[in-house]
Amino acid sequence: MTDPVVGLVLEGRYRLDERLARGGMSTVYAATDLRLHRTVAVKVMAEHLKHDPTFVDRFTREARAAAMLSHPNVVSVSDQGSDQGLVYLVMELVRGRTLRDLLQARGRLTVAEAFAVLEPTLSGLTAAHRAGIVHRDIKPENVLIGLDGVVKVADFGLARAVVGSGQTSATGGVLIGTVAYLSPEQLERGRADARSDVYAAGIVLYEMLTGHPPYGGDTPLAVAYQHVHHDVPPPSDENPGLPWQVDDLVERATRRDPGVRPLDAGAFLAELGDLRRDLGIARVPVPTGRSSAGPDTLRPTNRAHHSTRPRHPSDPLNPGTEVLGDTRAGMGRTSMLPGMGGGPTTHVDGRRPPVRPRPGVPDHVRRRRTRLAWAILALLVVTIAAVGWWLGSGRWTHVPSLAGKTQTTAIGLLQEAGLDPVCCIKQFSESVPEGVIISAKPAGGDQIRGSKVNLVVSQGPERFVVDTGLVGQPKAAVLTALGKLPVQVAVQDTYDNKVPAGSVTGFTPAAGTALKRDQTVTVLVSKGHEPVGVPDLRGQSPDAATKNLQELGFKVARGPDGRSADVPVGAVMAVAPGAGNAAPYGSTVTITVCMGVPQVKVPDVAGKSSADATKILTDAGLKVKAQKFFGDRVFRQTPAADQVVDQGTEVTILLTF
């Protein structure tokens, strides 16, 4: 049936020309980039998964992870998107085959050929690890061998960036990966780091040397059980011609304890190079399986003697990505992982393959076996001594000094010491900068038997900030907001000419300042406008005085007119409150306008002496004019007594006997 997707043009750029491969989760097409006129590979997510955010996230993560890497041994990803209902990513097109295809045709590889494939694989992984990316799904299907012999690592769909403790974990309790290549820590705790990729690469090396993975079983659970509870057997058990040093390399890479594996792919690659030099293994071309029959034909040579064993649907010789702990349809074979007890290591049928008898052993082989037996005996003695040392002082590990180191440096030191950092408890510190280790438990210099070291990392000084938006808000609302901060609060009333009474004018220290825990913050609450001094307005016209008072914020009232000898008639003669006094802003000031000089009642000075009469009248504010007739006593006065006259009026007194 014709694939309906073939012929579509995605985003007006990528024309899907040919379907190359189909899996349960995606289909890969050869496509033409119409913009750059080049051939690319386009991976399209399966129809039933495009609405699942988990798998859409996996696609996006693959694009981002691969885009971070630029290495000749990593399949490059150039674009990602969705169009016409298809979620896709655009990759480099590698013409050739996978390592799985090669192993199915060849059965197994020679040591030199296995090294030729593994070295560029580890080189690509080293670039990923140094970029902080863990692949998490290394397997023969994800190792591509081009027709030109170039090896590339593909499918970073399960890759995660290393964070915090330097580990990644499964999402939501679901462990996704290919169970035949998952490390024990991934199966037990769902956690992975660069050493988990090293384990998977060690399993791939075992498979290249023997033609099959070390463990098989009827279910993924059975395979997972063996990874967790058994050491990977030496590949020479299946391929007796292998040097013991190769067995040792596989053993170191696949140890169940991640702390004693090579630290990352770079360390594994270095050990591989050392072994190549030690054994004098010649460099050979990467086997591509090409023959005269054509570029897509593999030569079926060196097939393993057990390659015809029956296949079970769960047989890891044809593994797919497993989902353990998730029951959603379309997500792979499903198995729960309860606590696993002890049990034998098994292959597909639950038994180790029987050793086939070899007829007619030559003398030189017999001598070689004798030497091998002595070597094994010597190794046994060394092993017993090593176990004794381990049970004594050897299994004690010194915790490196970590206080004062950055979080990244501390994690690296612990991993180099074979310890597992548990990161991180965050604490505030007034003395230790942010991101620096405050302490470790066990502490630096201690000896421990376990592998976990708990780290306490500084968050820097603990500080709290008062929101600047609280300025101008009502007092009650501000106090409620401050009650949520671990600070002490004081209140101070203050005049403010702009902020209404009862609202907050500011803080001491000012809003936005970083505060320590329990530090006192003073809330400045407005009492309204400060009082205003009443000016001296005497002598001004009523209109001028009113304008001046209003400009100061006062209301103005005019009281009853008064009399004053000091100001002209019609001018302001007094204000209340009096001039110089402070009055509340917006209060009323009363002005008094002069209608003339004061009036007085003329005193009665009849019969008084001239001197006494003059004094009495003068004290009353009147002027005195005396007319004397033969005596010194007042006989008559004008104006008459008790008459009301203006102050300063002249009173004439007539003096007689």
Catalytic site includes residue 632: no
Q: Residue 629 contacts by C-beta under 8 Å, 6 or more apart in sequence?
A: 635, 654, 655, 656
* Residues 650, 647: Cα–Cα separation, whole Å: 9
Q: 137, 247, 264, 315: which is the annotated catalytic residue?
A: 137
Q: How far is the C-alpha of 623 from the C-alpha of 617, rounded, in Å?
A: 7
Contact 652, 625 (CB under 8 A): yes
Cα-Cα-Cα-Cα torsion 324, 328, 330, 335, nearest 10 degrees, comes to 30
Residues 168, 128: contact at Cβ < 8 Å? no
Burial of 211 (0-12, 13-18, 19+ CB in 10 A): buried
Number of neighbours of residue 506 by Cβ within 10 angstroms:
19
> Containing H/E element for 504?
strand 504-508
Q: How many CB atoms lie within 10 A of CB 119?
A: 17
Phi, psi of 464 (to 5 degrees): -130, 150
Q: Which two tokens stand for residue 162?
A: 């290393």
Closest listed residue to residue 128, CA positions, set 91, 103, 150, 156: 156
* DSSP assignments along 606-631, one per residue: TT-BHHHHHHHHHHTT-EEEEEESSS
Contact between 253 and 282 under an 8 Å Cβ cutoff? The reply is: no
- Residues classed as catalytic: 137
